[in-house]
Amino acid sequence: MTEPLIYSVGTQVVVQKDTYHVNKRVARPAGSVGVIVRSPIDRTHSYRVKFNDGFEAAVYHDQLVRLSEFKRDHMQGSVESSMIDLNERVIYRCVIGSRAYGLEEDQSDTDRRGIYLPNAERHWSLYGVPEQLENEETQEAPWIDGIRNTMLGGLVLGFGFLWSDLVCYLVGIKVGALTEYGLV
């Protein structure tokens, strides 16, 4: 029989119920984040949780959830939708790298840097804000470009990406599957 999990000191947690001062007033509302500073010997005793302003409270295991679990379970859809908001909040963007200095070549990409101003709700959320914003559609790996620059690599992978390439890929897959099953 395995022992129930006891969270260790240093674990970031989210309290699921209000915590109270000794005068019965709410000290921290449910959803507040803290760090465990003392773990109990078993689940019948309380943890000591310290909040960012130094306030500490006794909280039982069933009133806590690890911050990582809370992010995974309770905030799944909100992160993706808020990333769109961040791209719309760019206040300054400029071109850097070879294009900025007039040293670009035909195969040079365009590098941009800028500043964005997140809204307060996103900035102070459990997720915070990312250090940088990425555009996955324009990310390329240098090693694949090296292969593409050879004649054979260009013929196999294409010399760039076109949406019409997807149709060709699908036709090739279908012909391959039909050939594999002896239908062609």
Is this prediction's pTM over 0.75? no
Q: Are residues 17 and 49 in the same domain?
A: yes
Residue 16 belongs to a domain: yes
Q: State the average pLDDT for the chain.
A: 79
What is the per-residue burial (b if ≥16 Cβ within 10 Å, else e) of 48-68?
A: bbebeeeeebebebebbbebe
Residue 47 belongs to a domain: yes
Instruction: Report d(CA 88, CA 117) in Å as an integer.
Output: 9
Higher-pLDDT residue of 66 and 75 is 66
Residue 1 belongs to a domain: no
Q: Are residues 91 and 66 in the same domain?
A: no
Instruction: Report d(CA 148, CA 143) in Å as an integer.
Output: 9
Span 6-56, pLDDT tens digits: 999 999 999 999 888 888 888 888 888 999 999 999 888 999 999 988 999
Domain count, the chain: 3
Q: Are residues 80 and 68 in the same domain?
A: no
User: According to the model, what pLDDT value does residue 171 have?
Assistant: 84
Residue 29 belongs to a domain: yes
Domain residues for the domain of 65 are 12-72
Instruction: Report d(CA 122, CA 45) in Å as an integer.
Output: 35
